Amino acid sequence: MAIDEGLKSELQKQGIFVLPFEQLYNWGRKSSIWPLQFGLACCAIEMIASAASRYDLARFGAEVFRATPRQADLMIVAGTVTKKMAPQVVRLYNQMPEPKYCIAMGACAISGGPFKDGYNVLKGIDRYIPVDVHIPGCPPRPEALIHAIMTLQRKIANQHLEKGQRPRWYDKNAASEYAIPAFGEHDLQPTANREVWQPPRDYRDVTLEDVKKP
């Protein structure tokens, strides 16, 4: 059921907004992303800065930092996830109700970043939980976090309610909890959740030839 674009804009001029239910629904969801008040390291300070007066995350409906995961929609993994902290992070994500999103803020949260060679540093939170948006940077500027939230809003706005295109969490039986790693004698057990983390393709193949291409 599509609405004619011309008619739509004509109506809009007269103050009547016609839009599919899906769009209204997504608009509501994307305009009230409540993050979990949860900072890990350096990036958390920039996260606070983006919620403070100068960058004012409230303009995006995302300033309501909730202290409990039960009331949060978004987990901003802001900082280095160490192996000692990883089980807690996964547990927090498990405790969040669906639909839930995860932003990996900063190099450490994405891949371990500069600390990736450390014996106690997890090489990216996406080993255990799915990540929706990655923000590179060390730390990213507050604007970069806002940009990521806008990116996430775009993702939410493009989700469909129709059967077959629905996001994972509309399915009652879909997993919303992820395995929590246990502390082992030398390392976390398991070291990665293979259902969540898949190795990518090999990336060492973009060469000078690709520059010459128009």
Report the site for other proteins in 151-190 (rule: CB under 8 A): 151, 155, 183-187
Site string for other proteins, 53-92 (x = CB under 8 A): xxxx--x-------x-----------xx-xxxx--x---x
43 to 35, 39, 78, 123, 206: CA distances (angstroms): 14, 8, 5, 16, 31
Span interacting with other proteins, options 1-9, 12-20, 162-170, 201-209, rule CB under 8 A? 201-209
CB of 149 to other proteins, least distance (A): 9
3-state secondary structure (DSSP) of residue 146? helix
Which position among 64, 161, 180, 192 is part of the footprint of other proteins (CB under 8 A)? 192
- The torsion region of residue 16 among left (phi > 0), alpha (psi -120 to 50) and beta comes to beta
Answer yes or no: are the C-beta atoms of 23 and 2 closer than 8 Å: no
C-beta of 154 vs 166, nearer to other proteins: 154
Which position among 4, 118, 171, 175 is part of the footprint of other proteins (CB under 8 A)? 118
Answer yes or no: are the C-beta atoms of 75 and 62 closer than 8 Å: no
**97 is a site residue for other proteins (CB under 8 A):** no
